[in-house]
Amino acid sequence: MRFYKIDLLTLLIGLFLFASCKSSNTIGLDVDPETAVSGELIDSVTIRTETLREDPTNTNGISRYPLGLLNDPVLGTTEASLAMSVNLPSAAYKIQLDAALDSAVLVLPYASEFYGDSTAIYSVDVHQLRDDLSTQTAFMSNKDWAFNTSSELVPNGVIGNFTGRIKPNTPVKYTKVIGGKPDSVVAVKALRIPLDKQFITAQILKIPVNALTNDAFFNARFKGLHVSVNKARVTGRGAIAHFNMAGTAGAMLEVYFKQANATTAGKIDTVADGFPITPTKNPVAATIKHNYTGTPVETQLSNPTVQYQTTYLQGTSGLRNKISFPHLANLVQSLGGKVIINKAELVVPIEAGSDVSPFDPASRMALYRYDIGGQRVHIPDVEFLLRDDSRVVPSYIGRYNSTNKNYTFIVTRYMQELLDGKTVDYGTFLAPTVDYDLFGLPTSSSRSVISSFGNTTNKVKLNIYYTKIK
């Protein structure tokens, strides 16, 4: 009987221990980032951060298009310009022979992202592209698009200009012409740039009929438009605004002309036609230029082996950080045995005093890694959350905490897989983002200055809560 009791006790203890040990595949799945986690804490794991240039990226079809000039006292200057195809209002489009142009406006609807000085004065110029953009096949962020700087009709090449403050949150009122109905005053959040009447008359109203047959024929003649900021006429620090070029947003070349009424002799109608601008039909591309001359960024890019007190991250395909854990593999040995990670969090603080308006910290960061082929992929903790068909990263991940002035990422699964040898760190990276994209798309222009591991007052940390197992 005595041996029976001992065997039963042993069995119960064994079952208890088995139930207490979790597979690394389930670690951290039910952890609430705001909930205290039991276990020992180690927060001295060495972290190396390095400022890197972002790779050029495809810009056709992005969710927000950047335009502007930003003079950052720490990160230097950023220029963003746009090249766009213009499409016909409809197939086999027709204009009456007696049509006379009243006015033409380039309409660029604002997107939500604006970064910089909202009080600055901007001068935005429009030129005609030199080549047909619709026939191009690559639209990388570092590609310049040639445009005409002079013509017979427009000696200086500027076919449109807007000068003033850019106010993305302020609706602009204008009179909308509606065929067969009274005109109405409407308000839209868009940049409206008046265009040269002679140019539009020659390039749209007076072109051969066959050029209006389809978009391909039209673009072969019209080429497209280039929009940029006149650097010499920008005041203050400047800014980068973003525009929504989705088909439903209403980006277009809006043309108003007068023509004879089709049924009533002597009556003149005012007609408004919109020539849509959208990458769903033909290309729209962005060009980004960063100049880091004379800045701390230039120093870091030129001396990548040095660990600096701060590192830099910048949107508009500017800068990202490589994050390394050079001694993580030795953690098991230093702790005297294998560990189960109950929770691991990477805490990335901004440098004190770097968040002075208008250079606010980036609202969000994306943390990602390279796979064995050098492709950008989500870390395991984020990948686990994308098991549904939407593949949308939850909005709370990577958000800036304005109270604590940092970004925090749960990396429990990632660290466990690295310790267990199930995953190899081919490179881990941090970059500014709005939509948690991994590819450095120029859909955000914000920047952050972060404190590195060697910072004496505040530093990036990896907090690991663990339990030792035998």
- CATH for the 22-54+315-468 domain, from 2.60.120, 1.10.1060, 1.10.3470, 1.20.120: 2.60.120
| Per-residue pLDDT, 351 | 97
Question: Cα(80)–Cα(278) distance, rounded to whole angstroms?
Answer: 18
Q: Is the pLDDT of residue 313 over 80?
A: yes
**Could you tell me how many helices (H) and strands (E) the chain has, helices first?**
7, 25
| Per-residue pLDDT, 126 | 98
pLDDT tens for each residue of 186-245: 889 999 999 999 999 999 999 999 999 999 999 999 999 999 999 999 988 999 999 999
pLDDT tens for each residue of 30-58: 445 545 566 899 999 999 999 999 999 99
Question: Cα(109)–Cα(115) distance, rounded to whole angstroms?
Answer: 16
Average pLDDT over residues 289-304: 98
Confidence of residue 8 (pLDDT cuts 50, 70, 90): very low
Burial label for 423, CB within 10 Å (0-12, 13-18, 19+), is middle
Confidence of residue 302 (pLDDT cuts 50, 70, 90): very high
Per-domain boundaries in the chain:
22-54+315-468, 65-291
Question: Cα(86)–Cα(37) distance, rounded to whole angstroms?
Answer: 57
pLDDT tens for each residue of 417-438: 999 999 999 999 999 999 999 9
pTM to 2 decimal places? 0.88
